[in-house]
Amino acid sequence: MAVRSELLKNIRQAEPYVPGEQPRRKVIKLNTNENPYPPSPRVAEALRNADADSLRLYPDPEASALTESLAEYYGVNKDQVFVGVGSDDVIALCFLTFFNSGKPVLFPDITYSFYKVWAGLYGIPYECPKLDERFKIVREDYYRENGGIIFPNPNAPTAIYEELDFTEDILRHNRDTIVIVDEAYIDFAGRSAMELIGKYDNLIVVQTFSKSRSMAGMRIGYAVSNPELIRCLNNVKYSFNSYTINQPALLCGAAAVKDEEYFRDKIRIIIETREWAKEELKRLGFEFPDAKANFIFARHPQYSAKELFEALKDQGIYVRYWDAERIRDYLRITIGTRKEMEVLFDFLRTYIQADGK
């Protein structure tokens, strides 16, 4: 039955974010930047030891076990940490809480596409300064009046990391608006803007357990800032859902933070595999910005990215492709295990040799 137009005119319409494909069959999955290794063994132990009877009770609305673990890890106070259901939830609440001036929020034209979705959903005006010809953020484009700034570092899908002085320059030029640095991939890159939290009261740093901590299925994200901004975030959260993080996620998240050795070891392996993969791609004639995330954003000057995407998919190798302006020649390739990446390169070598270009 079709819905009558009289009903539709008062229903909010949104252009949704399109996530990477989640295939149901066994494939080599290099399309959504998941970590190819399991989470810390302490996570599995926390699940085994969880009290099933506790699931009949609501979880701690303050997420104390997790926020305390994160506060200790970063050397901040508990009231400087906010947790949510993945960094998407955290950033969506940041949009709702902080971007209300009526002035346009600024974020790059090529970046995490969810930013446009949240801006549209909440009726927030925005502008998207263009990345330069090397896909780098032009800092001077963010020196103008705005209603807030958000950018990922490293950026997605380009994998380009900007040094800490770049972030600080943006902050210095925007003292009267909120600046959010989305650091989903920072553990594969360099210094974090966490170092600047005590210096700039307008800075919010958002991170996630989905990438470097191998817990995308648990949906844990967090923000670190000053107590006043975190209080504002919590007030908005408590206005519509006090119990956003479930009990197993709270326990497992706290356990993961405490296993620093495992965490660092798996990051090291992924970075080593990434650097090896970059050399293999170069040998095959691919071009890409210097990748500092757990993925590579690559093009081949002689082959259609869409055709490569489809050919790889036919072989059960999933990468990410966007048919979008400026990036339709590129594939985003998640760093998998060494074995998974070898399968990818074996196919690419065969494909290129068979074509004979």
Q: Domain boundary residue among 259, 282, 301?
A: 259
- Residue 20: band (very low, low, confident or very high) from pLDDT cuts 50, 70, 90: low
Q: Are residues 312 and 166 in the same domain?
A: no
- In angstroms, the CA 177 to CA 192 distance is 20
**208, containing H or E segment:** strand 203-208
Stretch 255-279: mean pLDDT: 97
105-117: per-residue pLDDT in tens?
999 999 999 999 9
Distance of CA 72 to the CA centre of its chain: 23
Residue 2 forms part of a structural domain: no
What pLDDT score does 242 carry?
85
Q: Domain boundary residue among 207, 235, 259?
A: 259
* pLDDT at 11 > cutoff 70: no
- Residue 26: band (very low, low, confident or very high) from pLDDT cuts 50, 70, 90: confident
61-91: per-residue pLDDT in tens?
999 999 999 999 999 999 999 999 999 999 9
On average, the pLDDT of the chain sits at: 93
- Residue 53: band (very low, low, confident or very high) from pLDDT cuts 50, 70, 90: confident
329-340: per-residue pLDDT in tens?
999 999 999 999
Residue 214 forms part of a structural domain: yes
Read off the CATH number of the domain in which 267 is found. 3.90.1150.10
What pLDDT score does 309 carry?
97
* pLDDT at 244 > cutoff 90: no
% of the chain with per-residue pLDDT over 90: 87
Q: Are residues 57 and 151 in the same domain?
A: yes
**279, containing H or E segment:** helix 260-283
Residue 5 forms part of a structural domain: no
Angle at 36 between CA 270 and CA 350, to 5 degrees: 85
128-171: per-residue pLDDT in tens?
999 999 999 999 999 999 999 999 999 999 999 999 999 999 99
Residue 346 forms part of a structural domain: yes
Query: What is the span of the domain harbouring residue 343?
Result: 10-38+261-355
DSSP state of 129: P
* pLDDT at 33 > cutoff 70: yes
Q: Are residues 76 and 97 in the same domain?
A: yes
Q: Are residues 137 and 220 in the same domain?
A: yes
Q: Are residues 237 and 337 in the same domain?
A: no
Q: Domain boundary residue among 243, 259, 275?
A: 259
Q: In sequence order, what DSSP letters do the residues of 29-90 get, joined into one string?
A: E-SS---SSPPPHHHHHHHHT--GGGGGSPPPTT-HHHHHHHHHHHT--GGGEEEESHHHHH
- Residue 54: band (very low, low, confident or very high) from pLDDT cuts 50, 70, 90: confident
What pLDDT score does 22 carry?
67
